[in-house]
Amino acid sequence: MWVILGAQWGDEGKGKVVDYLADKAKLVIRYQGGDNAGHTVINQYGKFGMHLIPSGIFNPSAYSLIGTGTVVNPISLLKEMDQVRAANVPLDKLMISDRAHLVLPYHVALDKAEEKYRASLSGKEKIGTTLRGIGPAYADKSARWGIQCGEMLDWAHFERRLKTNLDRANRMLEHVYGEPVLDYGEMMVALEPACRAIAPFITDSFSLMRKALDENWDIILEGQLGAMRDLDWGTYPFVTSSNPIAGGACSGAGIPPSKIDQVVGVVKAYSTSVGEGPMPTELQDETGKMLRDIGGEYGVTTGRPRRCGWLDLVALRYASQLSGFNSVAITKLDVLDGFKELKMCVAYDVTRPDGSRFRTATVPAAYLMARAEPVYITMPGWQAQTTDVRTWDGLPKEAKEYLMKVEEFIGAKIKLVSVGARREQTIFV
């Protein structure tokens, strides 16, 4: 069993890695998150922006499960299913956990109202969410107001729950945020057809997992976003509302930790982030713009330009230590082709609230992370294209030195290097 997860702030290229590895899997599980982030997959079927459906859907032999730890927007999921169907990809092995929670229109309205309220304060309180309702949906789950996917299978019960929860949400929208309330009938125009369309895919995921484990299936657990967006260990409060790290895979998929064989951290050859919060290596200069333009660094879900910077080895080692990486997959190495020199962050200089300073080679809590300045080493770049390279020996000497420095610093071996978006642009080390 393999866990594939993001080792940075998200958008590391997990979709390509999972799509590649899923060829040998019998079950691929998305274990957390919602439609607030996407995986780009390019294969023989075309180019896809996957948000909820596991990237393993393109393997006709594999089951694809939207796991218990996810939150599911029925309207978004149906659109994604239609996109996959249009490419003649079968959905007969797609499943949704009956224990996964729903993202409903009132969650989206609350998300927008809360972010608007944050923006109206000092301006520093803004999270930079995708406004997809993910935070309010997880908040309802924790507060025991959430609605699980399986509840849709009893429509009368589901409608009763919806009306109760909508009334509660409308009270908050009107009396807390001063925003317009939602009408139940109008809400159901798009919601009901979507719910009824996805209902046949709902399954008892625990029984499925027991069967898979008992029969020793090859399983891939696919995470969303990255370790620095983890609710507990990321740059709080500029985080997602779930746990992308490996521990989240166990609870989100319903498996014991002892069953995990390999944890693979996916990392770009540089750093990117969408949204607010500390990012010590962010470059707000021409180099940052070059990385964004060459790498096509725009969000799959929102289209927002990503913040770009040099590779942060401190954050990467932190992610590795949190999740216990057995190996690392490096993506977008080709974006660095042509740079004369490259920098890597190997420590932070941090100013405490009292004005004193200290140097650290690990990630501090977020209130200190916001005060961190990167300490760099400089590596020589390579004046050659890597997009056509298919072997480790074929890489430029400087590129291999750059990658070996990553291995040395984080203490995990690189097993895969991506030099382009297509499947064949992959080097196994």
Averaged pLDDT score across all residues of the chain: 93
- Mean pLDDT (whole number) for 17-41: 86
pLDDT for residue 16 is more than 80: yes
Q: Where in the chain is the domain with CATH 3.90.170.10?
A: 268-428
- Residue 162 pLDDT grade (very low, low, confident, very high; cuts 50, 70, 90): very high
Which pLDDT tens digit goes with each residue over 166-175? 999 999 999 9
| Catalytic residue chosen out of the listed positions 19, 39, 140, 334 | 39
| pLDDT reported for residue 363 | 96
Got the DSSP string for 46-66? EEEEESSS-GGGG-TTSEEEE
Of residues 350 and 424, which shows the higher confidence score?
Answer: 350
Which pLDDT tens digit goes with each residue over 182-236? 999 999 999 999 999 999 999 999 999 999 999 999 999 999 999 999 999 999 9
**CATH architecture, domain 2-96+202-265:** 3-Layer(aba) Sandwich (3.40)
| Catalytic residue chosen out of the listed positions 11, 19, 111, 230 | 11
Q: Where in the chain is the domain with CATH 3.40.440.10?
A: 2-96+202-265
Question: Which helix (H) or strand (E) element contains residue 156?
Answer: helix 155-171
The reply to whether 39 belongs to the active site is yes
Q: Count how many Cα atoms sit within 13 Å of the Cα of residue 75 in the half-sphere of its side chain.
A: 14
pLDDT for residue 121 is more than 90: no
Q: What amino acid is encoded at 136 in this protein?
A: P
| pLDDT reported for residue 4 | 95
Name the residue among 320, 313, 316 with its Cα closest to residue 345.
Answer: 313
Task: Tell me what percent of the chain is helix, strand and coil, each rounded to the nearest 5.
Answer: 40, 25, 40
Which pLDDT tens digit goes with each residue over 327-379? 999 999 999 999 999 999 999 999 999 999 999 999 999 999 999 999 999 99
- Residue 124 pLDDT grade (very low, low, confident, very high; cuts 50, 70, 90): low
CATH topology of domain 268-428: Adenylosuccinate Synthetase; Chain A, domain 3 (3.90.170)
Q: Are strands 341-351 and 219-226 parallel, antiparallel or unpaired?
A: unpaired
Q: Where in the chain is the domain with CATH 1.10.300.10?
A: 102-199
Name the residue among 364, 298, 358, 418 with its Cα closest to residue 49.
Answer: 298
93 neighbors 78 (Cβ within 8 angstroms): no
pLDDT for residue 91 is more than 80: yes
List the end-to-end C-alpha distance of the chain, in Å, as a whole number.
20
272 neighbors 8 (Cβ within 8 angstroms): yes
Alpha carbon distance 222, 17 (integer Å): 10
Overall pTM surpassing 0.85 (yes/no): yes
| pLDDT reported for residue 123 | 63
Alpha carbon distance 36, 107 (integer Å): 13
Alpha carbon distance 364, 211 (integer Å): 41
| Strands of 88-191, DSSP E | 94-97, 101-102
427 neighbors 392 (Cβ within 8 angstroms): yes
Q: What amino acid is encoded at 419 in this protein?
A: V
Got the DSSP string for 234-266? SSTTSS-SS--SHHHHHHHHT--GGG--EEEEE
| pLDDT reported for residue 56 | 85
Find where tokens 């790290």 sit: 245
Which pLDDT tens digit goes with each residue over 245-303? 999 999 999 999 999 999 999 999 999 998 889 999 999 999 999 999 999 998 766 67
CATH, domain 102-199, list 1.20.120.530, 1.10.300.10, 3.20.20.70, 3.40.50.12240 = 1.10.300.10
The reply to whether 11 belongs to the active site is yes
Which pLDDT tens digit goes with each residue over 404-422? 999 999 999 999 999 998 8
Which pLDDT tens digit goes with each residue over 33-64? 999 877 677 778 888 878 899 988 988 899 99
Determine the 3-state secondary structure of 311 from DSSP.
strand
